[in-house]
Structure formats: structure tokens, C-alpha cells
């Protein structure tokens, strides 16, 4: 994982992609977001660190058209179960830039090496968008060779879901035993409460955006059509 100082430096140029959503109705503001230059930094976050509020509001919003959202954020919960039934849970988040290593790859490269082969792992990902074909292939290979791993992926949006290659990759994920579903409003609230920065000493209630339920139903229908 990157050190805290490195993470802070990396977040500086990326912060403009986490603009608050309140003014996205402004054509000029939206134009600025869409025309942002690509990120150059891949950042890993350490345990205990949380996702900046503006990143969550922009990157996780389940919009139909995701222009300007050229990063993927992956929040994870890892439950390690011993043979005696004891469970130890850890959580954190990773972010990526599509031009470099993806967040899914980062999880396998930085988090999974710490797994104990003697334990059973139930892993849940809350991801801003669904995996690309290459990441889906990596997930499938990992599940096939890691028999003590069960993976549930909840996604805010479907990435390039109209592409045949992506549709085939999502179906292969299902066939490999990966559970894949669209994030419900309650899931966004869970991410807000457990992964997003809160003001010190107080926890601000999650405020759903206007079309959160409508967009969830939209993507849920698309995913069901792809996986049937």
C-alpha cells in the first residue's frame, strides 16, 4: 500500500475529478469534468483511511452515462473464517487509473498475498463500475485456483455493458461462481457509512441523489438480461 504522504500527494491532482455534484447541472461545470486530463497516479489506501466525500459523490453515482469518470474505486470487506468458526473482518479501499493497473488487479496484488491458506475467505467488493474484460479474466483465474475464496461484487454502474466482449466476460464471471449484482440505495448508504470520510466527532446521514433508485433498476434490468 502507498504511504499516507504519497497518497496525499497523489490525491491532489485527482481531486478535481471528485468535484461535488451540486453544480453538475451547470453545462460549463460538466464540460470541465468531461475534459479533465487522464490520471497518472495509481493509489493504494492503507487500512483505516477513508474515501474523500467528493470522490464518493462523483465516482460512485450510478449515472447512465459516466463521462469524466475515468477512475475506478473499490471498497472491500474481507472476512477470514477459521475452522473453529471465528471470523476476523478487515476493510479498506483502492483506486485506479484505467491507463495503468486496475483496482481489481491492485486487490489481488496487494491484499490477497496476506491471505492465510488455512482460512476461508468471504470477500465483498463495492465497486464504482463493473470489471473490464481483462479484470474479469483475472478474477475468474483467481477464483479457479483459490478454493478458499468466495467473492461478491456489487457495482454502481455497468462498464461498457453494450459491448459483446464485456457481456461475455460478465457471464463467465457468473459461471466461475462470482456473485455479481448492482448496488441498491442501501448499499450506497453502507459505503457512505463505512468507507467515506466523516466530520470528526459526527456522522452525517447519507443523502441519496434524486435518481438513485431509478438508475439502480435500470442497471439491474441490464445485468439480468446479460446474465440470463
Q: What is the distance in angstroms between the CA of the first residue and the CA of the last residue of the chain?
A: 38
If 0-12 CB within 10 Å is exposed, 13-18 middle and 19+ buried, where does residue 103 land?
buried
Task: Characterize the bridge pairing of strands 149-157 and 120-129.
Answer: parallel
198 membership: H or E segment, kind and range: none
Contact of 56 with 93, CB cutoff 8 Å = no
Active site residue 32: no
DSSP at 101: -
| Catalytic residue chosen out of the listed positions 49, 104, 202, 221 | 104
What are the helix (H) ranges across the chain? 4-14, 27-34, 53-59, 103-106, 133-145, 164-175, 185-195, 212-227
If 0-12 CB within 10 Å is exposed, 13-18 middle and 19+ buried, where does residue 137 land?
middle
Contact of 195 with 157, CB cutoff 8 Å = no
What is the C-alpha separation between 122 and 226, in angstroms, rounded? 25
C-alpha radius of gyration, the chain, whole number: 17
Tell me the catalytic residues: 104
Amino acid at each position: 500500500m502507498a504511504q499516507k504522504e504519497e497518497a496525499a500527494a497523489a490525491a491532489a491532482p485527482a481531486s478535481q475529478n471528485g468535484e461535488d455534484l451540486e453544480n453538475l447541472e451547470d453545462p460549463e461545470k460538466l464540460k470541465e469534468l468531461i475534459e479533465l486530463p487522464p490520471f497518472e497516479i495509481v493509489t493504494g489506501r492503507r487500512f483505516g483511511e477513508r474515501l474523500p466525500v467528493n470522490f464518493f459523490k462523483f465516482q460512485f453515482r450510478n449515472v447512465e452515462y459516466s463521462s469524466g469518470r475515468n477512475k475506478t474505486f473499490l471498497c472491500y470487506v474481507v472476512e477470514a473464517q477459521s475452522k473453529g468458526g471465528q471470523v476476523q473482518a478487515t476493510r479498506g479501499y483502492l483506486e485506479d487509473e484505467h491507463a495503468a493497473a486496475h483496482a481489481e488487479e491492485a486487490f489481488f496484488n496487494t491484499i490477497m498475498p496476506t491471505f492465510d491458506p488455512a482460512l476461508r475467505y468471504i470477500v465483498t467488493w463495492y465497486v464504482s463500475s463493473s470489471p473490464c474484460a481483462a479484470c474479469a479474466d483475472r478474477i475468474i483465474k483467481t477464483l479457479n485456483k483459490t478454493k478458499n475464496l468466495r467473492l461478491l461484487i456489487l457495482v454502481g454502474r455497468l462498464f461498457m455493458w453494450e459491448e459483446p466482449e464485456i457481456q461475455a466476460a460478465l457471464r463467465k464471471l457468473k459461471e466461475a461462481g462470482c456473485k455479481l449484482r448492482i448496488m441498491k440505495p442501501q448499499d450506497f448508504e453502507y459505503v457512505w457509512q463505512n468507507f467515506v470520510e466523516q466530520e470528526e466527532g459526527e456522522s452525517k446521514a447519507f443523502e441519496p441523489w434524486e435518481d438513485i433508485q431509478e438508475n439502480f433498476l435500470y442497471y439491474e434490468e441490464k445485468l439480468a438480461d446479460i446474465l440470463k
